[in-house]
Structure 1
Amino acid sequence: NKMLSSEMWIHILAIALFCCGSADSRKVRGISSSYKRFYREKKSFLCIDGSKLIPFEQVNDDYCDCADGSDEPGTSACPHGRFYCTNLGFRPHYIPSSRVNDGICDCCDASDEYNSHARCQNTCWNLGQRERAYVEGQMRTLDEGLRLKQQLIEEGVLLWREKQAQLRELQQVAEDLQIKLEEHRRKKREADRFKEQTLRALKGGDGGKSFHLKNKTLGGILICLFCNPYSISLDEVKAEVVPVHDEERHLGDDEAMVLTTTESAKTNRTLTCVLAHLLNTNKKFTVQGIKKVSFCWVLICDLQKKLAIDYGTDWEFLFLNGQCYKLKVYEYMYTLCPFNHITQKSTAGTEVSLGLWGMWAEPAKNRYNQMIYENGEPCWQGGSRSTTVTLTCGTETALRSVKEPSKCQYIMDFQTPVACQPVLKQRGVHSEL
């Protein structure tokens, strides 16, 4: 009985070893955990696309039976098949099944070369460490970028309010200047009417001592002093008026007093007073007033144009307006002035426009991710130069790279904290770590 029992145990062990070996030889490789339910060992296997039902022993038999290649996930038999690298400790991914057992290690866990001469080392842990360090660095950058972004948002709100206040102040100044200018024009029209009336009254002749302007280019207009609505000092009269018959002689104080005394002017109806310098001052005030009003409106228009730009939901990009950022690439110096223009300058000093501010590109996920600059200088192949600026998250604001993937079409990488988003999708480190 003891002998019988020993033989029986040997037989059972042999069957077990055969079964284990058979199961291992038919092990389904190259599938993810989400697809394992399709590969539970049974009598038959249904192709995942539902096109064919085959015996289960034909799975991974190195012959392609399913059109979608699902019966050969662990071999290179199917031209469109995929092999799943589990890569514990790193990121899992798929490779074309044609790379299975080709002597080249494509999976960091070496699972794709289970039956080849290649001696692959499992490098997933080291790669995972680097990946984790990278992700941690990215998260630190994101945290710092978001902190700086909040500061820039607060500064942007204050700057927006300040510019709005400047706009209101300029508009008020322009309105006040316009009122003053209109009032001055009204007074000048009245003075012109007085002048015309006086000249008509004096056409009868010159019954007394006459005077005229020293510098006739100042106006050459004669006005009776007592008709003039403005006042004039002795020094001003002496500086501007001389006797008609003796141009080299200067007026004395008494003579100047006569010309500036209203009662004397009234008694001497032929007295002619020349007030060209006042008229000239009148003219200067009008010109200066117009210049001031015009200058105010130029500033107002400039401010309105700047405030019309979309600086983000919280005005976080407002601080970029008026700033410029440079980057030297080989023999060229590139200058990006956000919301304004982009230029390229060669070492020879030739400067070319690569585009003027156009709009936000408005991609689907983030409206403030790309800037479009258009209508740069003409390209020799036709059309004009243009640039797309992609904004990336960083702890400092700087122009990072410039490329020209196609002729006269440029792309730039512009790093700034305001491009940081509260939720950053991490590059996946496998959950099975």
Structure 2
Amino acid sequence: MRAALLLLPILSPALAAYEKTTGVPPALLSKYAPHTSGKWSCLDGSKEIPWDFVNDDSCDCPDGSDEPGTSACPNSTFYCRNDGHFGATITSSRVNDGLCEKECCDGSDELPGVCPNTCKEVGEAYRKKRAEEIKIQKTGSKIRSSYITFAQKEKKRLEGLVQNLADEIALREKEVARLRDISDRAESMSAAALERKKQSPLYLTLIEHASALKSLQREYKKRVAAEKKLGEILDTLRSGYNPNYQDMAVLAAVRGWEEHAGLPHIGVEADAAEHDEQAEPEKKDKKTAAKKEEALDEDAWTLEELEEDLDELLKMDYLSLLLESDDSSSASGGSMIFDIAAYLPDSVIPAYEDFKDALVILLQTFGIISPQTDRPSSADTSKSRQALLAAEKAVTKVQKELKDADDQLGRLNDPAGYGPEGEWKKLQDLCISREMGDYNYELCFFKEAKQKPLKGGTTFSLGKWGTWNPEAESGTAEYYAKQVYTKGARCWNGPERTLTVLLTCGTENAVTSVSELEKCQYQYTATTPALCMPVEEGVGRDEL
């Protein structure tokens, strides 16, 4: 006891200094010391007060800096040291109010003995939780890296696809222009003139050959079907007969089929390998002979070409070929009367055209030439028109594909689309869901969210893809932590359904909870590796 009393004068200054700095954050400790005069300056420099006035539970400084450890100044703050955990700051109004604040696990916000010091337990729990979070973040960041790699490959693919589609459109537009010219000429040509052209030996020969090919194709298909059926019958006979008891006619039929089909004799399959080795030189000789025979006629079609390409050949529009051939002939050796304008100066062409028209009318009046008043035959021009429409439809289809590819490429290059590194492209159309109550709540990223009943009933749309977090700046972590889906199915006597998705880092793409905040306003929480940024060097060590 006497020893304690002897130490009291020594400890008193230290205890007094500690009391004066109670509630002071570490960054300001150096400013809480008295001047040599025994005075102390308020932190805002507004006045000097005696050092004894600091933390005396009476507010003397306008900025409240003289009472960091009490609740005397309403505009002051209190710092909890929380040794063993993180320090925290609370408002001075919460100091000495009889309540143990969770931010101050050391209990320093109240008088000694009121609140227990739980910083050791709180710190250990926090470090354990943080270690798990860092582990998840590291794993998730590796998955996110694979998403970025996928986006880079997808970008290259889309760039190549855009170029290929643009080239294809250019070629198809040329084909459309060619077919339109043929169609226009076919429709403007009189039926009689078109009929005369169709009587040309070349056109009649083409039609005759096409008819013959169609007939040959029809008979070929019949014979292939018959041969297949016969092969099935002979296979059944071969597998079912007994070579020791059947008569010679059946044996001869089976042996003949085996030789024709290149099959080993039934019952002696064990000798098939030896048979194949002996027959191999003979097969090679036959193949060589077949190749030599094929080489005799270089233009002959192979069996594969006949089966795959003959249909396209038979679908050819011979009328278009006729008109193109006629156009080519006219271009190389046409009448000089109607080509003469190409040799005249531009200034005299109008006078020449008037003279030509007057001459044609005069010749028609005297019956020397007949006016072309016949309308073209719709039956003769329908094929050219159909070919034109098909070509135009094909161009429209490729143009749509190009637009879609352009849109996808644009979203990959836009931080407001698939993220700054394209990491969200991997999730496009990926659907995740969670069962809750009587419903299955589904989310298809960048597409639509739905509420599906588990026991039958109507599926409702909770919203279609709208935007990222509208309250955050594009490119920030907060921006990608929220998705908004709008324009869902309308509620009964209510608004359209909407959905907000709150996203956090996780090793899986998964819906973790579903709630209806207000009528027809839904909220999902979900995890995704796309939000797992790489762990900075030293972060885990410093915190743990």
> What is the TM-score with the length of structure 1 in the denominator?
0.68
Contact 2:486 2:499 in 1 (8 A): no
What is the CA–CA distance in structure 2 between the aligned matches of 1:369 and 1:424, rounded to whole Å? Answer: 20
For the residue of structure 1 that corresponds to 2:393, the secondary structure is helix
> Hey, which of these two has a bigger chunk of helix by percent?
2
In the alignment, structure 1 segments of 5+ residues that lack a partner are 1-9, 202-222, 240-274
Equivalenced residues, count: 363
5 Å-filtered alignment, 1:136-151, equals: 136-151=131-146
Query: How many Å apart are 1:417 and its aligned residue?
Result: 2.1
> Hey, which of these two has a bigger chunk of strand by percent?
1
5 Å-filtered alignment, 1:44-59, equals: 44-59=39-54
Contact 1:355 1:385 in 2 (8 A): no
Give yes or no for the alignment of 1:232 onto 2:207: yes
Distance change (3 Å), C-alpha of 1:67 and 1:233: same
* 2:476 paired residue number: 366
* 1:40 paired residue number: 33
- 1:369-418 CA-partner distances (Å, limit 9, x unpaired): 25654651486799866555454322222344455556655554443223
Structure 1 window deviating more from structure 2 (122-131 vs 327-336): it is 327-336
5 Å-filtered alignment, 1:3-402, equals: 17-18=8-9, 20-21=11-12, 24=15, 27-28=19-20, 29-41=22-34, 43-106=38-101, 107-115=104-112, 118=114, 120-192=115-187, 196-198=191-193, 224-226=198-200, 229=203, 231-233=206-208, 236=211, 281-309=383-411, 310=414, 311-345=418-452, 348-358=457-467, 361=470, 363=473, 366=476, 369-370=480-481, 373=484, 376-377=487-488, 387-402=499-514
Contact 1:334 1:345 in 2 (8 A): yes
Distance change (3 Å), C-alpha of 1:143 and 1:379: same
Contact 1:401 1:414 in 2 (8 A): yes
Query: How many Å apart are 1:312 and its aligned residue?
Result: 3.1
Structure number with greater CO (CA < 8 Å, separation at least 6) is: 2
Query: How many Å apart are 1:163 and its aligned residue?
Result: 2.2
Contact 2:138 2:535 in 1 (8 A): no
What amino acid maps onto 1:369 in structure 2?
Answer: Y
What amino acid maps onto 1:146 in structure 2?
Answer: S
Contact 2:460 2:489 in 1 (8 A): no
Contact 1:363 1:369 in 2 (8 A): no
Distance change (3 Å), C-alpha of 1:158 and 1:427: closer
Structural RMSD (CA) = 4.2
What is the CA–CA distance in structure 1 between the aligned matches of 2:116 and 2:542, rounded to whole Å? Answer: 19
Contact 1:131 1:429 in 2 (8 A): no
What is the CA–CA distance in structure 2 between the aligned matches of 1:305 and 1:188, rounded to whole Å? Answer: 35
Structure 1 window deviating more from structure 2 (394-403 vs 366-375): it is 366-375
* 2:245 paired residue number: none
Query: How many Å apart are 1:37 and its aligned residue?
Result: 2.4
Query: How many Å apart are 1:172 and its aligned residue?
Result: 2.9
For the residue of structure 2 that corresponds to 1:317, the secondary structure is helix
> What is the TM-score with the length of structure 2 in the denominator?
0.55
What amino acid maps onto 1:109 in structure 2?
Answer: D
* 2:532 paired residue number: 420
For the residue of structure 1 that corresponds to 2:71, the secondary structure is coil
In the alignment, structure 2 segments of 5+ residues that lack a partner are 215-376
Identity %: 29
Distance change (3 Å), C-alpha of 1:101 and 1:353: closer
Distance change (3 Å), C-alpha of 1:300 and 1:64: same
For the residue of structure 1 that corresponds to 2:141, the secondary structure is helix
For the residue of structure 2 that corresponds to 1:369, the secondary structure is helix
Distance change (3 Å), C-alpha of 1:128 and 1:428: farther
What is the CA–CA distance in structure 2 between the aligned matches of 1:188 and 1:84, rounded to whole Å? Answer: 88
For the residue of structure 1 that corresponds to 2:534, the secondary structure is coil
For the residue of structure 2 that corresponds to 1:232, the secondary structure is helix
Query: How many Å apart are 1:86 and its aligned residue?
Result: 0.9
Distance change (3 Å), C-alpha of 1:370 and 1:278: farther
Query: How many Å apart are 1:291 and its aligned residue?
Result: 2.7
- 1:31-51 CA-partner distances (Å, limit 9, x unpaired): 222222233255223232334
